[in-house]
Amino acid sequence: MKRLIHEIHRRSLWQVLGLYAAGSWIVLQVVDQLVQSAGLPDWVPSLALVLLLIGFPMVLATAFVQVGMRRQVASDEAPESVPAQTDSQAAADKSSPAPRSASSAPTKAEASSWFKSNVFTWKNAIAGGIAALALFGAATAVWMVLRGAGVGSAGTLVAKGLIEDGERVVLADFSGDSSLAVAATMALRVQLAESGIVSVVEPALVANVLARMEIEGGPINVERAREVAEREGLKAVVGGDVSGAGGSYILTVRVIETVSGDELVTVGETASDAADFLAAMDRLGRKLRERLGESLGSIRAAAPLERATTSSTEALRKYSRAEQAFDARDLEKAIALLDEAIALDSSFAMAWRKLAVSDFERREEAATRAYELRDRLTERERYHTVGIYHTYVTNDVDEAITTFRALLDAYPDDGTALNNLGVNYANQGQSELAAEMYGRAVAVDPYTAHYYNNLIELLYRIGGIDSARVVLDGFAENFPDHPNVAWKRSAFAYTEGDVESSEADLEPLLHSEIPSLRRQANHAVSNLRIREGKLREGEQVWRQAVEDLTPLGEAIWKSWLDLTVHFDTAGAIARLERAVEAAPDSLVDESVGGLSNFFYSIGDVGQGDRYHEREQVVDSMRIANIPDRFMPIVELWHRSRRNMALGEYEAAIRDFRDLEAAWLRISSGQDPATWAAQPIPAFEALGQADSVIARYESWLGRRELDNRLRSDSRELPRAYERLGQLYDDKGDLEQAAGYYGLLVELWADADPELQPRVDAARARMEEIVRGRG
């Protein structure tokens, strides 16, 4: 050993070793950069390392030999003194044999010298390095060519022509270990959502097809997924399995041809334990994306699954169930599950983003938290999060539009991005562009229900009523049992005057298993009864619609009826003041906005101001989060109500007109006639009958779909009654008789206390008819 170390020092091999190590490090760094940027396969760095390790002893041996030979040559060339020969030496020389002829075999020493001189040379070492580099490049190039040409095991499914770029596939639920199967399915869905090679169809499409097949919901196995894919004309399905093996888990994913059932590709991975499960799913998903045909560079650039989702398998499972509840419009269940997922992992950015679109009351908080965690998201989810943040928190519409357009550059068929881009165009008042984006969202993803909602509502607002009806028909065809189809049908029937059909369309919702849908339907039926003057029946239905009804909440609701239907101001005040006095401060704090509005409406400025100031304190967080573009509307609304209470009617009318102009600047295509009734009390107080008539008739002709019944419930009877009286006063008896007749028809079965007004309208109508012959 000492001799070897001595020789290493003597022959300067440390320098050679250092230079080779430095050169190898540089080569490996260059290879790593090429792998990342050029999308070379994962085995390329390993091949480079193997070749460098093979070359190391060759270079070391060459240096050892060549340095030794140089020293020998130097020794041979050095001058030496030749001693005189003795007589005996000379005689010996003469008697020694003659030199060996050229044809004689070389000695062992000579052969070794030749081998060293002709094999272990720097020329050969450099040539070997070049050959190794050529082999390395050729192997990589051949693999890339085979991958792109779809030849052999290196060929991708896209290259082989088995699927097309952008192919839509059905993702079956994972089978096997039930505790992990749901999380595995969600994890793979997240990963494939990042892939531009395939597009996983939304669960809503699968549910819709199964409904048409009259198959109950439940886990979607591979065979059922194939049935869905075949009905929809899709080429392939993706299915997986999770199986336990001791403490580890074997994960397998297969791409299966729809018609034949042949396995197109199978990839597998092993999780050492439950803690390694999501990391193993990440590795599995990347393998699958590679075999499908996705760029290796884009696969490597994707965030690890645990970072893009959550490190908690249980949190991912709850998130998956929340997605299902959201698609079923069971928002209460979705919110509860998202809260549970966030409780398990407070940095679960996807859950925060979903909460922002599920829980309106916490939208800003959830969107802000998701934005803060955006680096823990996939590229696609990150774009969505930033766009929602600018839509709902900063209210920077231009920035939101820029974000969603950038997302669509990368993922042109992202229906959510198209829909959200439409929302922001609508917020800018660009209704035509908004309708175009909503329409594209429906076209690329006809099985996401809320895209239809937005498109139908906007088309109706901007006057495309027939187009809205066509979209509703398509919605009903794809989602025959969806609750929003029932809502829209009911709304259309009501606006067309078919109240009986409108109520019939609500029937399925009244018996829904989802509590929030039952409450909303009961609210609608209650409004129908109040509109008809059946206040007692309306109240009974309303009670079923209100969750956690308090005495104060009941008093506020009844006081508005006293004020707007019975015209019993004294009774309304007495009822409300008793309830406020008996209620705890916490309940009063929750109602200060409504109380302020009520007292301004009856002309009590002092009480109105007191509750308004209290609202600024107890509701300061909500007020602080009101978008800047809405602040002028908030301020004008308060000022107009206060001026009405003060009797400053001219000022109130100016405020109302400014309010209408401000709202028009930011409205999403809303018909201005929607707000026409607001200043009517001021015009009434000033005796401006023509303005009252114009405002009422504008309001009656408004284009309003979803909220028309709610505003009609209290205002419509008064509008008919007052228009009849005003036209009567003007001498336009035909118009007067018409409006009296509408009130008589509407309130034909109204409560007894309302019948004197019905009798008066009927008597006057009949008198006019008799007078006109």
Q: Nearest-5° angle of CA 740, CA 742, CA 743?
A: 65
- Look at 564 and 13; give whichever has higher pLDDT: 564
What average pLDDT score do residues 292-303 get?
Answer: 64
Give the whole-angstrom CA distance, residue 370 versus residue 543: 37
Percent of the chain with pLDDT over 90: 45
* Predicted confidence (pLDDT) at residue 132 exceeds the cutoff of 90: no
Give the pLDDT confidence score for residue 299 in this predicted structure: 56
Q: How far is CA 640 from the centre of its chain?
A: 39
Give the pLDDT confidence score for residue 306 in this predicted structure: 63
Per-residue pLDDT tens for 175-186? 988 778 888 888
Which residues have C-beta within 8 Å of that of residue 106, sequence separation ≥ 6? 114
Q: Out of 418-427, 619-628, 694-703, which region has the weakest mean confidence (pLDDT)?
A: 619-628
**Burial 120-138, CB ≥16 within 10 A → b, else e:** beeeebeebbeebeeebee
Confidence of residue 706 (pLDDT cuts 50, 70, 90): confident
What average pLDDT score do residues 441-468 get?
Answer: 90
Per-residue pLDDT tens for 370-413? 999 998 888 888 999 999 999 888 888 899 999 999 999 988 88
Strand, coil or helix: 529: helix
Positive or negative, the CA dihedral 344, 348, 350, 356 is positive
Give the pLDDT confidence score for residue 77 in this predicted structure: 47
- Look at 574 and 288; give whichever has higher pLDDT: 574
Give the pLDDT confidence score for residue 129 in this predicted structure: 72
Per-residue pLDDT tens for 141-154? 665 565 555 555 55
Strand, coil or helix: 87: helix
Per-residue pLDDT tens for 616-638? 999 887 888 777 778 899 999 99
What average pLDDT score do residues 479-502 get?
Answer: 93
Per-residue pLDDT tens for 530-545? 999 999 999 999 998 8
Whole-angstrom CA distances from 292 to 27, 186, 312, 329, 704 are 30, 19, 28, 34, 48
Give the pLDDT confidence score for residue 514 in this predicted structure: 85
* Predicted confidence (pLDDT) at residue 73 exceeds the cutoff of 50: no
* Cα–Cα nearest to 252, from 320, 153, 190, 172: 172
Strand, coil or helix: 267: strand
- Look at 206 and 52; give whichever has higher pLDDT: 206
Give the pLDDT confidence score for residue 499 in this predicted structure: 95
Token digits of residue 386: 């930033």
Give the pLDDT confidence score for residue 4 in this predicted structure: 47
Percent of the chain with pLDDT over 70: 82
- Look at 237 and 311; give whichever has higher pLDDT: 237
Positive or negative, the CA dihedral 605, 610, 615, 617 is positive
* Predicted confidence (pLDDT) at residue 82 exceeds the cutoff of 50: no
Give the pLDDT confidence score for residue 445 in this predicted structure: 85
* Cα–Cα nearest to 157, from 324, 297, 290: 290
* Predicted confidence (pLDDT) at residue 727 exceeds the cutoff of 80: yes
Confidence of residue 300 (pLDDT cuts 50, 70, 90): low
Beta-ladder partners of 243? 250
* Predicted confidence (pLDDT) at residue 735 exceeds the cutoff of 90: yes
To the nearest whole number, what is the mean pLDDT of the chain? 84
